[in-house]
Amino acid sequence: MRKKWIAAAVTAAALLGLWGCDSTPKAKVYVQNVGEITGAGAIAVNDVFPGIVVSEKVTEIQRDTERTVTKLHVAEGDNVKQGDVLFQYDSEELQLSLDKQNLELEQLKNTSTTLQSQIAALQKEQKNASKDEQLSYTVEIQSKEAQKKENDYNIKVKQREIAQTKTNLANAEILAPVSGRVVSVSEDGYDQYGNPKPYITIQQSGSYRVKGTINELSMGAVTEGMAMRIFSRTDPEQTWSGTVSLIDLESATQSNPNSMYFGSMEAGEMGATSKYPFYVELSSADGLMLGQHVYMELASGETATGGLWLPEYYLCYEEPAGEDQEKGDPYVWAANDKDRLEKRYVTLGGYDEMQMAYEVLEGLTVEDEIAYPSETCVAGAVVTRDPAEATEASGETSEGDPMMEPDGSGENGEQGESGVDMTPADPSGQEGLPIEEGVEGADVLAPTGDQPEETTGGGNPATPSPTTGTGTSGTLNPDEPTEGTASDGDLEG
């Protein structure tokens, strides 16, 4: 009977060993694309930014808010040449204003003439006045002279107003100062978030760059000097390359919380946030048009200095060949063309402390798929690209029966002292053997009532009785029916 207990214990230990190394035939290992891993951070390599091709030079035309625009000749998206009419003011209103100003100027001149005559008359009367009247004449003359000076000043101001009106009348049509593309027209001078805007903005023809926007929640994901890949919306095969040259932190705008996103994450109830424009300098603009809408993404695994940089925690090392080596040859766990895991040796270059990554010179490309090193990584293991599937596979036996949980609880919640369910499955289909507790260092499997009788030294059959109890360092006698607990001695009934 004891031999059978030992055999059952060995079976349970074997099952536990299989669970510990997770080498079940159907266990799957999750792998990821190297391009996604090397582009990982706040934004993954496959996240895309919308962008628009803009000119490096922008011309803004302001509108005179005191004048009325009678006709707008351009709209957003129009291409204009230098000298083209953009809009025109109301010339009839200007003409009426000019006529009124001329009348006011004439009145001022008449007032000035009248004051001059009055001053001359008072000076003449003062000569014939008595000494007592001299002071009153002097005061009145000085008052008239002050009025005349003020009136003369008003004449000069009015003359300047008339000159400006004539200029405006002659320039009722506002012309484009440069050739380019009209990118915005603001009728009221403000955007939808209350930020001031010029009346018309023209992007000049010439050298191009790509403008994108980044939300404040993803600040740091795009940095100046980062390599970017630009591709056409209509033809993804048509691509350009460039480098982030500027993140304009001084030109923030408020975004709509219903449309703001970071990657594919909706903002939801987080509220309005700020968006900042960033610009990508192009290596070549051949084939691009001003105002063309494109997509941008981080260059797969590439930095502005080039190279494939892999986070150090994906690397494993063989045992060093000699005492002079700290580490052996580096390798990764990679998926082969048969969707099986294999060791893939790589050649490393420099180390980037900021990224905590090594440059991979040989042995790996952005199209490869690798696994995070763990106990499940063994040569020949089946790979999966679904993390949920990998989790389910590592928690099932080859027949699909649930395995023991890491905390030691089985399907029925039974645990041994060591925290692991030691109840093995009975090959005959019978119930599993119950566990006896109280033996130090291991759980002992108790026999069931169906075990054959075993004779004692006196020749009489000994009927095994179920025993119960717990112990940490005591000795449990399974040949006697007992109940109780023991801590440092024999268990007694």
Question: Three-state DSSP class for 140?
Answer: helix
Supply angle C-alpha 386, 390, 395, rounded to 5. 150
Between CA 140 and CA 146 the distance in angstroms is 10
Residue 282 has pLDDT above 80, yes or no: yes
- Residue 34 and residue 208: Cα distance in Å, rounded? 32
Share of the chain above pLDDT 90, in %: 25
Closest CA to 481 of 442, 436, 440: 436
Sheet arrangement for strand 79-80: 58-61, 200-204, 180-185, 79-80
Residue entry with tokens 């449990």: 476
325 pLDDT band, cuts 50/70/90, is confident
Q: What is the CATH number of domain 48-56+206-298?
A: 2.40.30.170
User: Is the model's pLDDT at 436 over the cut of 90?
Assistant: no
Q: Average of pLDDT values for 324-350?
A: 91
Instruction: Band the pLDDT of 428: cuts 50, 70, 90.
Output: very low
Does residue 264 carry a pLDDT above 50? no
Q: Which two tokens stand for residue 352?
A: 């980037």
**DSSP per residue, 344-387:** EE-EEEEEETTTTEEEEEES--TT-EEE--STT--TTPEEES-H
- pLDDT, residue 418, reads 39
> How far is residue 74's CA from residue 175's CA, in Å, rounded to a whole number?
11
pLDDT tens digits, residue range 204-236?
Answer: 776 789 999 888 766 767 888 888 989 888 888
111-158 residue pLDDT tens: 999 999 999 999 999 988 888 899 999 999 999 999 999 999 999 999
Q: Specify the 3-state DSSP secondary structure of 3.
A: helix
d(CA 212, CA 218): 13
Strands 253-254 and 85-89: unpaired
Number of helical H runs and strand E runs in the chain = 5, 31
310 confidence band (pLDDT: 50, 70, 90): confident
Q: Are 474 and 489 in contact (CB under 8 A)?
A: yes
pLDDT at 268 exceeding the cut of 60: no
CA of 278: how far to CAs of 88, 173, 221, 249, 394, in Å? Answer: 34, 35, 12, 9, 45
What single string gives the DSSP state of each residue in 31-81? Answer: EEEHHHHHT-SSS-TT-EEEEEEEES-EEEE---TTS-EEEE---TT-EE-
CA distance linking residue 275 with residue 215, whole number of Å: 4
How many other CB atoms are found less than 10 A from the CB of residue 457? 6
Q: How far apart are CA 208 and CA 56, in angstroms?
A: 6
Residue closest to 6 by CA, chosen among 460, 443, 456: 443
Kind and range of the H or E element at 389? helix 387-394
Local confidence band at 420 (pLDDT 50, 70, 90 cut-offs): very low
CATH assignment, 28-43+307-394: 2.40.420.20
pLDDT band of 307, cuts 50, 70, 90: low
Per the model's pLDDT, the better-predicted residue between 165 and 476 turns out to be 165
Write down the pLDDT at residue 237: 84
86-111 pLDDT per residue, tens: 998 888 888 898 999 999 999 999 99
CA pair distance 340, 381, nearest whole angstrom: 5
State mean pLDDT over 54-66. Answer: 83
What is the mean predicted confidence (pLDDT) over 30-35? 86
pLDDT of residue 471 exceeding 90, the answer is no
Report the pLDDT averaged over residues 316-332.
87
Q: Cβ-count burial of 31 within 10 angstroms (0-12 exposed, 13-18 middle, 19+ buried)?
A: buried
Query: In this predicted structure, which of 13-22, 234-243, 295-304, 313-322 has the lowest mean pLDDT?
Result: 13-22
Angle, helices 91-128 vs 131-170, to 10°: value is: 170
In degrees rounded to 5, what are phi and psi of residue 120? -65, -40
Which range, of 227-241, 287-301, 371-385, 423-437, averages the lowest pLDDT?
A: 423-437
Q: What is the pLDDT of residue 493?
A: 41
Q: Is-contact 140 120, C-beta < 8 A?
A: no
Q: What angle do CA 420, 424, 430 make, to 5 degrees?
A: 145
Name the pLDDT band for 252 (thresholds 50, 70, 90): confident
Taking the C-alpha atoms of residue 436 and residue 442, their distance in angstroms, rounded to an integer, is 10
Average pLDDT over residues 437-453: 45
Percent of the chain with pLDDT over 70: 64
- Cα 2–8–14 angle (5° rounding)? 140
**pLDDT on residue 306:** 53
Q: How far is CA 472 from CA 18, 408, 409, 415, 477, in A?
A: 27, 18, 20, 15, 14
pLDDT band at 47 (very low <50, low <70, confident <90, very high): low
Please, what is the Cα angle at 290 between 261 and 197, to 5 degrees?
60
- Residues 438, 476 contacting (CB under 8 angstroms): yes
The pLDDT value given to residue 217: 67
Mean pLDDT of the chain: 73
Burial bucket for residue 339 (CB in 10 Å: 0-12, 13-18, 19+) = middle
Q: Cβ(317)–Cβ(304) under 8 Å?
A: no
